[in-house]
Structure 1
Amino acid sequence: MDPRRLSSPSPQSTSGSAMQAASSESNTLRAAVPGLFSSLPPNASPLEQNRLITQGYLRLAHAMQAIIDPAFRPGGVSRIMPNWFGFAPHASQEAGKGILGAAVAHRIIDAAQGEPSSSIPQALDRVGLRGPRRLALEALSQAMTWYGLPRDVAAAFASMQGALNLEALSDPRTLWTTAQRFAKLYIEAPGRDPLAKAEAVIVTLERCLNHGNVAIFTDIGGSGELYLSWRQSVGPAPAARVLAEFSRPGSRPDQAQLAYAFALQHAHDVPRPSEFSRLLPSVSTESLVVVAFALFEQARQTPSAGVRDALIGIANNFLAYQEQFTAVQPAFTPTTPRPDEVPRSELMRALTPLICLEMGPVAWKFTDYACDQRDRDGKLLTSKATEYNWALFSDRWPPILQSFEVGYENPTALWVAPPPLVRPDGQLTGAD
């Protein structure tokens, strides 16, 4: 699919305090926005791309939910089980937080080029990192210095994680494992001096998150726009017509028919079907995307709430499987690593315990997921959350499915749009 981007949204206030005070109502799209995609400014930064992607997902989410929920009006709140696109703005926002953390880390390193900091607090003060998360950032920074990292480098690496789930670091085992892993990344990073080596780690995170976010949006977001355009030309279509007439690059009608029949037969299975490489080995992930839209149409026409939700759930799994198995995986484990980066898989392994997903007033945390799993290495000196690697599909697929279930239990929460990302200096990230 040719990469496509979305149009710039309407201007927003540049007041950080105004953002904090924004209500959920003002944070919700009030009307459908025509023209979901157009060219992105050629010199857009990763933060600007993230902002536009998040807002593009919001538009797609509202348009797609209107298919499932005939009573829903874009800009409102749906109490029916949300579609995949309802989760996407929140996931994009989390990627944006990581990209923002990388931007802050760049600033710490830039400041250190002129004069190294005399202490960890000074390094964090230089970029305005304060507030309740400050103590956790200082603790992680100090732990990294015990492994030999310079103060500015340690503060920069800690700031990369400043918008993630820092509560995970309250477990000393997670704190020290995280510090140790970042120290290893630093030692093995390319670069002629400490600050250059730090930049290699920071830029790896920035690119990894940006590449993954753009890849998913281009793939699934592009398919969503393609479907909505097709639907606008033909009108509300029964599922059979979607399977026969709608396609996306790589999909096949015969495969779509097979997967659709499987979905109808197994939609009520517990747990919900998700291991599609085993369950549907002859069906491409691209065909699963087509089936997802057909299931949304079928859900619209289903009077039973239980059946409707079952169809939406398996449709979401089809889309998420394409998203995670096909679209984003190359961003985490590129075939040809860049010589100016550290291994992306190892960087994501270090960050895994801190991963979380905020959905309006509801939050899913990886530590909660890991706490309920078996102890992989059987060692008391390692926390369960540090035994996973988000870069590996097999490690992140089950927790992603669990995060969906949290969203299903709180369907209205997903319609509270993520607030604008704000730098420590109070500027919105769109004010580049």
Structure 2
Amino acid sequence: MLETSSRAPHRARLVTVLLLSALLSAPPARAAEGATPLEDNRRITEGYIQLANAFQALLDADFQPGGTSGLRPNWFAFAPHASQAAGKGMLNAALALRILDAARGRPSLSVLEALERVGLTGTLRLSVEQLALELVVRGLPTDVASALGALTTGMNGEALADPRTLATTASRFAALYWGAPGLMPLDKAEAVVLTLERTLHGGNVAIFADIGGAANAYLAWRQSAGEVRPERVLSEFPLAGARPEEARLAYDYARAHAQDTPRPYAFDALFPGMEGRSLVVAAFALYERARLTEERTEREALIAVANNYLAWREQHEAVQGAFTPAEASTDEVSRPEVMRTMTPMLVVHFGTLKWTLADYAYAHADRDGNPMTSQPTDYGWATFWDRWPPILDSFEKGYAEPTAPWVMPEPLEDPTAG
């Protein structure tokens, strides 16, 4: 169910507060070396918020940074919320590691004890406990089951109300555990937890370095370029790897097809062999064209295609290596399998709007046609074509509630740092 009431951001903030409280109540599991994943996540989320404000001010003359815009949001307005969701996943990993760390001192006598002694109580505990108990039934030790269950803290626990999703999720977690490197149960569970943390952190950093880096370079170039028009962006903005002739092709196509239904999205078929950074340049040129366009429908159509161009580069190229690295680490489990296990519970709060993978999956045809499995379990976030249509769907939901994303998240603090 899509939530657009004021309860949605309140619920998201409550979950974050409870997670932080749980982490603060337990001793650190390991010393940090340099920036922690959560410290990186905070920096990235803050950076996206700044970029969202800068690009929306370019597109909407009435927009004030820190305020609300009724114009279609730019890509960077969605990015802080997606980054925050990744950060919450890292918080969950930190919580799971604390469960394992506590178990090394003294094993828990029950799932309830394992969760409560790291401060996980109340309604936030219910779906975690349900999954952990299912894992115990499947033969996993109590603290292992509790730690793996804790990875879903604050996610869309309602997805587990479907017994098929619960059974499949438990089965996948169990398979990851039994196949994990290590001899001792706690070490095997830690391998699963660290795989998730590294995947989320690596993806978070990779996207911001790529798209965020290009955006910051563009804004710096724009400030010194004098009068900026789309044609100058296409021919003069010096983004490494981009090819001006490709950027021009993508830009011209977008202008001709911006109001197509469906909106252009299969760019591997439309532009075979095109360098993804050329799409980034085309996107910035489209934002400039939108800025100069008076008619609102056309302006918003241009913004939407520009968003798709940036999202394609982000998902098809920038982040994919974090999901499917060229060389797997020997102390990890399969990253695609970890993401497939987590996918049914995926939730992103775009300000006052709540988007879940489960809602998307149930609203679409059953992909495997098997009534014994639930639709959300048919998706794996590490597979590009599994996540690309849902991501586009989340954009469309945001376009229908354009002010929602401007309720920006409070970037997460790492309560264990320092």
What TM-score results when the alignment is normalised by the length of structure 1? 0.88
The question of 1:157 aligning with 2:148 is answered yes
CA distance in 2, matches of 1:271, 1:414: 23
Matched-pair contact (CA < 8 Å) for 2:229–2:289: yes
Equivalence map 1:355-394=2 (5 Å)? 355-394=346-385
Shift in Å, 1:322 = 0.2
CA shift digits 1:84-112 (9 cap, x unpaired): 00000000000001000000000000000
Matched-pair contact (CA < 8 Å) for 2:159–2:345: yes
CA distance in 2, matches of 1:75, 1:221: 19
Shift in Å, 1:131 = 2.4
Q: Secondary structure at the match of 1:345?
A: helix
The question of 1:100 aligning with 2:100 is answered no
> Which residue does the alignment assign to 1:350?
341
The question of 1:87 aligning with 2:84 is answered no
Matched-pair contact (CA < 8 Å) for 2:237–2:281: yes
CA shift digits 1:279-309 (9 cap, x unpaired): 1114211100000000001101100000000
Equivalence map 1:170-319=2 (5 Å)? 170-319=161-310
CA distance in 2, matches of 1:108, 1:328: 29
AA in 2 matched with 1:416: V
Matched-pair contact (CA < 8 Å) for 1:255–1:283: yes
Shift in Å, 1:246 = 0.5
Shift in Å, 1:80 = 0.7
CA distance in 2, matches of 1:224, 1:65: 13
- Please, which of 123, 132, 135 is the counterpart of residue 141 of structure 1? 132
CA distance in 1, matches of 2:64, 2:417: 31
Shift in Å, 1:420 = 4.3
Equivalence map 1:9-48=2 (5 Å)? 43-48=34-39
Q: Against the structure 1 CA distance between its residues 118 and 313, is the aligned structure 2 distance closer, same or farther, given a 3 Å change threshold?
A: same
Q: Secondary structure at the match of 2:382?
A: coil
CA distance in 2, matches of 1:62, 1:401: 21
273-282 vs 70-79, greater mean Cα deviation: 70-79
CA distance in 2, matches of 1:156, 1:430: 18
Matched-pair contact (CA < 8 Å) for 2:207–2:319: yes
AA in 2 matched with 1:239: P
The structure, 1 or 2, with the larger RCO (C-alpha pairs under 8 Å, 6+ apart) is: 2
Shift in Å, 1:376 = 2.2
AA in 2 matched with 1:243: L
Shift in Å, 1:42 = 7.3
Shift in Å, 1:176 = 1.0
Matched-pair contact (CA < 8 Å) for 1:255–1:282: no
373-382 vs 249-258, greater mean Cα deviation: 373-382
CA distance in 2, matches of 1:233, 1:244: 16
Q: Against the structure 1 CA distance between its residues 247 and 420, is the aligned structure 2 distance closer, same or farther, given a 3 Å change threshold?
A: closer
290-299 vs 376-385, greater mean Cα deviation: 376-385
Matched-pair contact (CA < 8 Å) for 1:239–1:295: yes
AA in 1 matched with 2:278: S
Unmatched 5+ residue regions in structure 1?
Answer: 1-15, 21-40, 423-427
Shift in Å, 1:383 = 0.3
Q: Over aligned residue pairs, what C-alpha RMSD do you find?
A: 1.6
CA distance in 2, matches of 1:256, 1:327: 18
Matched-pair contact (CA < 8 Å) for 2:41–2:412: no
Q: Secondary structure at the match of 1:307?
A: helix
Q: Against the structure 1 CA distance between its residues 285 and 420, is the aligned structure 2 distance closer, same or farther, given a 3 Å change threshold?
A: closer
> Which residue does the alignment assign to 1:27?
none
Q: Percent identity, please.
A: 55
Shift in Å, 1:141 = 0.4
Q: Secondary structure at the match of 1:95?
A: helix
Compare the two structures and name the one with the higher helix fraction.
Answer: 2
Matched-pair contact (CA < 8 Å) for 1:259–1:283: no
Q: Secondary structure at the match of 1:133?
A: helix
> Which residue does the alignment assign to 2:25?
none
AA in 2 matched with 1:360: G
CA shift digits 1:396-425 (9 cap, x unpaired): 000000000111111111111113447xxx
AA in 2 matched with 1:245: E
CA shift digits 1:241-298 (9 cap, x unpaired): 1001003111011111111110111101011000000011142111000000000011
CA distance in 1, matches of 2:83, 2:273: 31
> Which residue does the alignment assign to 1:7?
none
Q: Secondary structure at the match of 1:336?
A: coil
Q: Against the structure 1 CA distance between its residues 110 and 282, is the aligned structure 2 distance closer, same or farther, given a 3 Å change threshold?
A: closer
Shift in Å, 1:431 = 5.5
CA distance in 2, matches of 1:363, 1:236: 39
CA distance in 1, matches of 2:79, 2:319: 13
> Which residue does the alignment assign to 2:317?
326
Unmatched 5+ residue regions in structure 2?
Answer: 1-12, 18-31
What TM-score results when the alignment is normalised by the length of structure 2? 0.91
> Which residue does the alignment assign to 2:57?
66
The question of 1:418 aligning with 2:414 is answered no
Matched-pair contact (CA < 8 Å) for 2:279–2:309: yes
AA in 2 matched with 1:383: S
AA in 1 matched with 2:178: I
CA distance in 2, matches of 1:378, 1:390: 20
AA in 2 matched with 1:338: S
> Which residue does the alignment assign to 2:3?
none
CA distance in 1, matches of 2:273, 2:199: 30
Matched-pair contact (CA < 8 Å) for 2:46–2:411: no
Q: Against the structure 1 CA distance between its residues 122 and 57, is the aligned structure 2 distance closer, same or farther, given a 3 Å change threshold?
A: same
CA distance in 1, matches of 2:339, 2:195: 10
Q: Secondary structure at the match of 1:364?
A: strand
Q: Secondary structure at the match of 2:355?
A: strand
CA distance in 1, matches of 2:138, 2:50: 46
